[in-house]
Amino acid sequence: MSLNAFILVFISVSLSAVGQIAFKLGVSKLVFADGAQIVGKILAFAASPFILAGLAAYGLGTLFWLFALRQLDLSLAYPFVAISFIVVFAIGVVGLGEPWNNTRALGLAIITIGLIVMAKA
């Protein structure tokens, strides 16, 4: 994998992870009135600055992904989407105070080893 292609993949995946964090922050701040109907809830989601920022991050990440796919086989590029698991976990634990436990750490280690093996291919 060329360095340029790896950078494009990393930017794309990082933007997707940032989008997930923005989504989490957005839905965590929403408060629905008792008995709120689905349309009202959807409109609240659509008006949330965090959710809108998350959608923008996803859109921008998709553009970087398209440029990466011009240079890489999909079968090589797609496994690197797993980087988002690592980024989201780190931001969740450090930034959002989510729990750290050995099972999650083991899962991340397995994902990381898999990515290293894929990068060597």
Name the most confidently modeled range: 34-38, 40-44, 60-64, 81-85: 60-64
At 27, list the tokens: 């839905």
Could you give the number of structural domains in the chain? 1
The domain of 45 spans 3-120
Per-residue pLDDT tens over the stretch 45-102: 889 999 999 999 999 999 999 999 999 988 888 888 888 888 888 888 998 898 989 9
**Residue 33 phi, psi dihedral angles, 5° rounding:** -70, 150
**Measured between alpha carbons, how far is 32 from 14 in angstroms, rounded to an integer?**
30
Q: pLDDT at residue 12 above 80? A: yes
The confidence score (pLDDT) of residue 121 equals 66
pTM for this entry: 0.79
The confidence score (pLDDT) of residue 31 equals 82
